[in-house]
Amino acid sequence: MLILGIESSCDETGVALYRGDGGDGGELLAHALHSQVAMHEDYGGVVPELASRDHIRRLIPLLRQVLADGRCALAEIDAVAYTQGPGLAGALLVGAAFAEALATALGVPTVPVHHLEGHLLSPLLSRRPPRFPFVALLVSGGHSQLMRVAGVGQYELLGETLDDAAGEAFDKTAKLLGLGYPGGPALAELAERGRRDEVQLPRPMLKSGDLDFSFSGLKTAVLTRVRELPTISDQQRADIARGFQDAVVDVLVGKSLRAVALSGLRQLVVAGGVGANRELRRQLDAAASRAGIVVFYPELEFCTDNGAMIALAGALRLQAGLAGKPAGAFAVRPRWPLTGS
Ligand code: KG4
Ligand code: ZN
């Protein structure tokens, strides 16, 4: 079963071909990505209209590329999976319209996929995949959630952020420190040069007793620190970045380990863009090995948005007998909770 996956929910156009074998031994044949970061950089954030127009420009060349790389013909595609939401409405519409039109022309079904389900399942693309059930820490630009994943389509929300997502907090704090867009990776790089404990920031909700998060106060704490300083040196900036990153990492590690302990499971999966953060990986690995837990990460290229995770989620949904539909009519879901929908 050959599945084409299309991702266009925000500022990355991703296309991929995944061959499912009906079991858990499928194979990613090819994937291609175009990031719009350079285009949005001048504006300090994603401009939705520009994002939509760029997805239109990129989809056909990326499709041609994956067909060539995967040595497949269009006619071999058995189903087209695409991100139905959540995300930017216009950007989602481009991917959805493209996928539905192509599937109609090919006479194959479509599989509308939840973007977060793609992230949740992305560690299954690794050479050493986790097995169901596992706990997932999903930390992206729009979401911070802890989930219990019992199988494909079986997700239980354990906790989530009450305000900003972890990636959003990274991006907003980066902006405060005068770093470019997207700020997360730049802030993480700066933090590597900062000194530990030079800037102490709160660990929001670490001891709240539940599995929820709150990150918006940290950004305000950083703003207060910056305002206290008459001028700011490169070292001070790095120390603040380090203080911020350490606080976020402490909270994410503490809550994730608690979620795993409460669930009685031994596997933790980390997904979403913030999962690329090196310090988070270092601290999680250390804490997990003390607790006898195994942590799984997607390959770095599959941490941030990509088409491969959508193709995979589409293949696994079809294999599980879920949610393929005849190509044609469609609607996108810019706001869409993963659980309870
Ligand atoms: O999963 P993703 O690509 O898109 C969403 O679905 O939101 O995540 C993007 C987020 C951005 O907020 C970005 O700043 C953050 O992930 N991010 C990082 C790192 N790499 C990406 N945050 C911290 N450290 C990183 N190394
Ligand atoms: Zn994402």
98-154 pLDDT, tens digit each: 999 999 999 999 999 999 999 999 999 998 899 999 999 999 988 899 999 999 999
Cα gap 48→46, rounded to integer Å: 6
Q: Which two tokens stand for residue 263?
A: 């669930």
Q: In CATH, what is the architecture of 2-121+302-340?
A: 2-Layer Sandwich (3.30)
Question: Start-end ranges of CATH 3.30.420.40 in the chain?
Answer: 2-121+302-340, 129-297
- CATH class in words for 129-297: alpha beta
For residue 140, report the distance from its CA to the centre of ligand 1, in Å.
Answer: 5
End-to-end CA distance of the chain: 28
Nearest-CA neighbor of 191 among 228, 224, 222?
A: 222
Amino acid 142 reads: G
DSSP string, 227-245: HH-SS--HHHHHHHHHHHH
Collect all residues with Cβ–Cβ distance below 8 Å to 273 and sequence separation of at least 6.
Answer: 139, 140, 141, 167, 184, 303, 304, 305
pLDDT at 58 over 80: yes
Amino acid 329 reads: A
pLDDT at 341 over 60: no
Query: Using a 6 Å cutoff on CB, does residue 243 contact ligand 1?
Result: no
23 pLDDT tier (thresholds 50, 70, 90) = low
Nearest-CA neighbor of 225 among 274, 187, 177, 280?
A: 177
pLDDT at 323 over 80: no
Q: Which two tokens stand for residue 231?
A: 């001028």
- Lowest-pLDDT choice from 67-76, 129-138, 171-180: 171-180
Tell me what the pLDDT averaged over the chain comes to.
94
Residue-wise pLDDT tens digits, 232-259: 999 999 999 999 999 999 999 999 999 9
Supply the pLDDT for residue 321. Answer: 86
44 pLDDT tier (thresholds 50, 70, 90) = confident
Mean pLDDT, range 171-183, rounded to an integer? 90
- Which region, left, alpha or beta, applies to residue 116 given φ > 0 means left and ψ of -120 to 50 means alpha? alpha
User: What percent of the chain clears pLDDT 70, i.e. is strictly above it?
Assistant: 98
For residue 253, report the distance from its CA to the centre of ligand 2, in Å.
Answer: 20
pLDDT at 328 over 90: no
Query: Using a 6 Å cutoff on CB, does residue 85 contact ligand 1?
Result: no
312 pLDDT tier (thresholds 50, 70, 90) = very high
In the block, tokens 């700066």 appear at 190
Question: Quick one: which atom of ligand 1 is closest to the CA of 171?
Answer: 14
Collect all residues with Cβ–Cβ distance below 8 Å to 217 and sequence separation of at least 6.
Answer: 202, 204
For residue 303, report the distance from its CA to the centre of ligand 1, in Å.
Answer: 8
Cα gap 41→179, rounded to integer Å: 11
**What pTM does this model have?**
0.91
Ligand number nearest CA of 309 is 2
pLDDT at 162 over 80: yes
340 pLDDT tier (thresholds 50, 70, 90) = low
Supply the pLDDT for residue 168. Answer: 94
Ligand number nearest CA of 277 is 1
pLDDT at 322 over 90: no
Q: Within 13 Å of residue 16, how many CA atoms lie on the same side as its CB?
A: 32
Question: Quick one: which atom of ligand 1 is closest to the CA of 141?
Answer: 7
Q: Which two tokens stand for residue 95?
A: 């991917």
Residue-wise pLDDT tens digits, 203-224: 999 999 999 999 999 999 999 9
Residue-wise pLDDT tens digits, 2-12: 999 999 999 99
pLDDT at 91 over 70: yes
Supply the pLDDT for residue 182. Answer: 80
Supply the pLDDT for residue 41. Answer: 87
- Ligand 1 atom 26: the closest Cα is on which residue? 277
In the block, tokens 């087209």 appear at 80
Nearest-CA neighbor of 109 among 299, 289, 324?
A: 324
Question: Quick one: which atom of ligand 1 is closest to the CA of 12?
Answer: 3
Cα gap 88→16, rounded to integer Å: 21
Helix (H, G, I), strand (E, B) or coil at 210: coil
